[in-house]
Amino acid sequence: MMSTRLKRPSLLRQLSVTALLLGSLTYLGISALTGQFGFESKEQLLEDIQVLSAEKARLAARIEDYNKRIALLDPQRLDPDMLTERARISLSMAHPDDILVILPENN
């Protein structure tokens, strides 16, 4: 009968596997904090969302203003006063009954 002998794992192999696992864990931990999708980036993304939401609200207000101005030019609901006012401004003309106030040009 032949005796069997158990081979003990090498200490160098155990240390290298441990070092490899600790290195991987360290890399993943640093990536979770400072990576593209880490905690610090999440804060920056939330700030960007707030800035863009404010920009969206500002642009929505401008669009609403333009829609109101466009509605005033609708042929079925055309306001004669608005038409006259726009024509005078575009043509730089005044009505004989208008009072003109000429302001000095600021340099």
* Contact in structure between 32 and 39 (CB atoms under 8 Å): yes
30 burial type by CB count under 10 A (0-12 exposed, 13-18 middle, 19+ buried): exposed
pLDDT digit string, tens, across residues 27-81? 999 988 888 888 888 888 899 999 999 999 999 999 999 998 888 777 777 777 7
Report how far residue 79's alpha carbon sits from residue 81's, in angstroms, rounded to the nearest whole number: 6
Biggest CA–CA distance in the chain, Å, is 129
Report how far residue 24's alpha carbon sits from residue 54's, in angstroms, rounded to the nearest whole number: 41
Domain-by-domain residue ranges, the chain?
A: 23-91
pTM of the predicted protein model: 0.46
